[in-house]
Structure 1
């Protein structure tokens, strides 16, 4: 393969055949969407001069990178063309080999392979390493899935590593399609394009959770009974989503702050665009902070309302118990008198009792009743029931 062939968008080693479609840029160039947006393994290269796709092998990609790093090649060709190399679902040995060709630090290489590091931006002598997380809805469902983008920015080449297709890639292609040049403006532009695309995804999610919070604010004082359990579940889920979104958005704010502090490898004209993205992030953080406060207030209102309902139920039980107590107060003495008067012994005031005028049985029964009452009362007092 000759060097001129590397001026084309490169390649797809796809695991499964995808339906091929094309889009036309403002300069009339066709973008083959099969290569960049298909599932499975692929490698894709584009540059400032052309967006024509060409399938190449991994070995050809390595040859291209070695040519770009070759000093004799740089002197022979006035090479000021900027390239974007997108690598999806590559094997670990392939990623390791590319990093070795580019002389990437071993810790950075480990981060790219593991795909589990936090969001961050690191500056090296000749490149920038960027890790950005993205969340989006899985195709055909309401389930949110996460994806990690690792980016290496060199003066003329930007590399993007990811294990699955990213929603932000669609947006980046659209931005390239409608760009004035109809292609890739510069390698540094890719950082802005990806950050802006990912932030746009978060804006949509933040707006939805804000609407959910406002709906809950209206419902918390209206719903009652069984529906309150549903409301409490919705408040809990909304709070969890707000926390997750806040964590994701805050990480991107840190990345842009680092990029704005160091203008190395970032075109000056891109700084204004990055500041615009940062404004969007700050606005989202304000919305999420407001949502957190609203949800916290809603939770307090909900708990206060539940407490009031429990208090009302307790007061209702107390009112009923007062009625039972009043009735018992009336009938217990009557029951006691009826029991005493109904005993089959001689009672005071009885005349002509067949066993004589002895009151021993009556006195004995009364003493037993008093002894039982005192004993049981003492036990209740010891148990602190009285």
Structure 2
């Protein structure tokens, strides 16, 4: 509170305006810090469906911090000009100089808080993007493994399909009129053995 006996000169009035303006930015700086901490804790509990929303929040928070930083820097420059030119220009009287310094300290503290929040936000975003990259790499490897297994299965069953197709043609084939089931079981056994051999080879060379 100002002393009622203080003569309200122009520098006092200017100080009052600057003090009110600086105080009005403090909730925004605190909110930026809280929002960044919330995002930092939130990224570990998100599902894949929430990824777009998180990236959008990164962009919104960064824009808010940039706007707040620009506003605070302009106020800091004004205060630096007023306090640094006290002796030469006599713009600020000695009785109010200390109050201008207090407002300048507050603005600088808010700037430091916003810059720290921005650095933390950039770090959180980098970690989140790295986490997404790892997840995409894992999913890609799983897809490649599935495709490799399907390819191996196709290679195993391709000769079997060829044998079945040849024996199923409407042309005379050996043992067609033998009247015994032995040729049938022989063909089935050959197909099963061939499939097992192919599977063993693929397993040996880690294709499966």
Does 1:271 pair with 2:94? no
Please tell me whether residue 196 in structure 1 is matched to residue 22 in structure 2: no
The equivalent residue for 2:76 is 253
Measure the CA separation in 2 of the matches of 1:205 and 1:351: 90
Counterpart for residue 109 of structure 2 = 283
The alignment partner of 2:44 has SS state of: coil
2-structure distance, mates of 1:231, 1:280? 31
Are 1:238 and 2:91 counterparts? no
Residue matched to 2:184:
none
Hey, what does 2:144 align to over in structure 1? 318
Matched with 1:302 is: 128
Contact 2:73 2:111 in 1 (8 A): yes
In the alignment, what sits opposite 1:209? 32
Greater RCO structure (CA 8 Å; 6+ sep): 2
Instruction: Specify which structure has the higher proportion of strand.
Output: 1
User: Residue 61 of structure 2: SS of its match in structure 1?
Assistant: helix
Distance of aligned partners of 1:351 and 1:310 in 2 relative to their CA distance in 1, 3 Å threshold = closer
Question: For the structure 1 residues 327 and 257, does the alpha-carbon distance in structure 2 shift closer, same or farther, using more than 3 Å as the test?
Answer: same
Displacement of 1:343 in angstroms is 3.4
The answer to whether the 8 A contact 1:203-1:284 is kept is yes
Distance across 1 between alignment mates of 2:136 and 2:151: 22
In structure 1, distance between residues paired with 2:94 and 2:49:
59
Q: Is the 8 A contact 2:82 2:91 kept in 1?
A: no
Cα deviation, residue 265, structure 1: 3.0
1:220 aligns with 2:43: yes
TM-score (norm 2): 0.75
C-alpha RMSD of the superposition: 2.2
Deviations 1:218-274 (A, max 9, x none): 112222222333222222211111111011101111111111121223212211111
Q: In structure 2, how many angstroms separate the alpha carbons of the residues matched to 1:192 and 1:209? A: 26
Unmatched 5+ residue regions in structure 2? 178-208
Q: Which runs of 5+ in 1 are unaligned?
A: 1-177, 353-386
Name the counterpart of 2:205: none
| Alignment partners' CA distance in 2, 1:351 and 1:193 | 109
Aligned length: 174
Q: 1:324: Cα distance to partner?
A: 1.4
Q: Deviations over 1:122-157 (max 9, x none)?
A: xxxxxxxxxxxxxxxxxxxxxxxxxxxxxxxxxxxx
Separation in structure 2 between the aligned mates of residue 228 and residue 182 of structure 1, nearest angstrom: 60
Q: By percentage of residues, which structure has more helix?
A: 2
Kept in 2, the 8 Å contact 1:232–1:302? The answer is no
2:45 partner SS:
coil
